[in-house]
Amino acid sequence: MLSFIVFFPLLGVAIIALLPRERERDSRWVAAGAAFVVLVASLALFAAFDRDEAGFQFVQSHTWISGDIAHFDVQYLLGVDGLGIAMVVLTALLGLVAVLISWRIELRPKEYFAWLLLLETSLLGVFTSLDLLLFFIFWEIELIPMYFLISVWGTGRKVYSAWKYVFFTFFGSAFMLVGLLVLGSAADTFDIRLLSEMEIRDALVPTQVLFFLLIFGFAIKLPVFPFHTWLPDAHTDAPTAVSVMLAGVLLKMGGYGMLRICLSILPDVARDASVWLAAFGVVNILYGALVTMMQTDLKRLIAYSSISHMGYVLVGISALGQVGLTGAGMQMFTHGLITGLLFVVVGLVYDRAHTRQIGELSGLAHQMPMIAVVMVIAGLASLGLPSMAGFVSEAMVFLGTFGKHGGLTVLAVIGILLTAGYILWMIQRVFLGERSPRWDGLGDATAWWERTALVAMVAVIFLIGIYPAVLADVIETGVQPIVGRLA
């Protein structure tokens, strides 16, 4: 089932490649069909997931590289726990949303939708791989579609932003690859399940250095200050669908890697580094929020807010306890959902007004009431309003971390106040300000693909906000073995 979910988008890529040039617009239907099937399959897997069993489920294992060739076996090894299945569902949902909001793509649609489906496969592979080398391969495959999607279909300094993204990620991946190879060599296995049961002490380098090599690559992807500068440029110049996938899923690869590898396999070093993780998380929160308040471009505003909100993930990880780690996992899911929705709305506004400058936009709620309502909902969810998804995850992060890092947690809470400031200011300026004759005649979200994407994401935001157990219980099963290791 996991192999089907991971590789089914590639079937869509193959069908798109066979389409004749005169039927290239049919590629959007092929991509939508493939993404929809993956979403249905992931939801079926989510429903079948045993919430009473901690650990990995739906495991599939085959020898990939025999020990006769290498020093030890390398496996094609897939499986998911509570963390993994949550990220798979998020990726599948946003993958379909990305296809729907790209419905009007006219420039080389065959290539565009093929790259989008390949990106989805690579991300699903990261969240389901239980072999370190397989994990790294999927991690690197993601660079190829991201580069072309930004450099070809982006705007502004798109080539510069695409290369900047690639260079930063390659730089972090180089450190991470060294760490993974050292880790596998020290334990004579790349199996994450076995590594999570061992004590790694006699590696080629001290375990503190090994921990740094691994977490450095994940920190760049998260991203952690001061290695965050690729993110605003990539977001600003990427097409809307790519911004949705970038903020919604790609950033979560960093937090997921920290939980899956750094904390699970090197718990002793993680305990020693706890206060540093919390400190960097607080810096992310406050720095990102302050810089967000200075932005005049809607996309850059949401991009910098992503830097701030990913700081909550780092703070939750630093708690090293069940509540904090569950909150970090929840924050990864809810932030991906909420920020993805914010980028969808900004994309819809830009498609109609052809500008993202906050100073030029005013009173858009008169012309596009549905888009305005969705922006208000997404904004309130982002600032943590109760009954919405953002509140649950942030509350769990604070509750789980306060007992361990009280002072830093108080500083992190200030980020909520700053978020309320820039979100409400943006909504008032853009949508609720004085009506401008310049924007008379702008259309609302009337197409079925636009409304489907908006309604689906809003529904999930309220579902998790009102009934958080539907997600929290699943993530908790994935966190329990990590907490056991850290204890």
* Measured distance CA(1)–CA(49) in Å, rounded: 12
For 126-178, the pLDDT digits (tens) are 999 999 999 999 999 999 999 999 999 988 899 999 999 999 999 999 999 99
pLDDT at 205 over 80: no
Q: Residue 431 domain-assigned?
A: yes
pLDDT band with cut points at 50, 70 and 90 for residue 235: confident
pLDDT at 475 over 90: yes
Q: Residue 110 domain-assigned?
A: no
pLDDT band with cut points at 50, 70 and 90 for residue 202: low
> Is 59 within 8 Å of 78 (Cβ atoms)?
yes
* Measured distance CA(175)–CA(168) in Å, rounded: 11
Q: Residue 410 domain-assigned?
A: yes
CA distances to 233, 343, 347, 376, 477 from 113, rounded to whole Å, are: 22, 19, 18, 30, 35
pLDDT in the model for residue 63: 84
> Is 210 within 8 Å of 179 (Cβ atoms)?
yes
Expressed as residue numbers, the domain containing 408 is 273-487
For 339-391, the pLDDT digits (tens) are 999 999 999 999 888 888 898 888 888 889 999 999 999 999 998 899 999 89
pLDDT band with cut points at 50, 70 and 90 for residue 422: very high
Among 97, 181, 110, which residue's Cα sits nearest to residue 152? 110
Mean predicted confidence (pLDDT) in 433-441: 83
pLDDT in the model for residue 418: 93
> Is 83 within 8 Å of 261 (Cβ atoms)?
no
* Measured distance CA(280)–CA(263) in Å, rounded: 16
Q: How far is CA 225 from the centre of its chain?
A: 17
- DSSP lists the bridge partners of residue 57 as 80
> Is 316 within 8 Å of 282 (Cβ atoms)?
no
pLDDT at 204 over 90: no
Q: Residue 390 domain-assigned?
A: yes
Angle of helix 298-319 versus helix 230-237 axis, rounded to 10: 140
pLDDT band with cut points at 50, 70 and 90 for residue 453: very high
pTM for the model stands at 0.94
* Measured distance CA(230)–CA(387) in Å, rounded: 33
Q: What is the domain count for the chain? A: 1
Pairing of strands 57-65, 74-80: antiparallel
- Residues across the chain: 487
For 15-51, the pLDDT digits (tens) are 999 998 888 888 999 999 999 999 999 999 999 999 9
Contacts of 134 (CB under 8 A, 6+ apart): 64, 74, 75, 76, 77, 125, 190
> Is 373 within 8 Å of 448 (Cβ atoms)?
no
pLDDT at 102 over 60: yes
pLDDT in the model for residue 455: 93
Q: Residue 425 domain-assigned?
A: yes
* Run of H or E residues at 79: strand 74-80
Q: Residue 120 domain-assigned?
A: no
pLDDT in the model for residue 445: 86
Q: Residue 44 domain-assigned?
A: no
**Over the chain, what is the mean pLDDT?**
91
Q: Residue 198 domain-assigned?
A: no
Helices within 78-229 (DSSP H only): 82-100, 109-128, 132-141, 143-153, 158-187, 192-195, 207-221
For 50-89, the pLDDT digits (tens) are 998 888 999 998 888 776 655 667 789 999 999 999 999 9
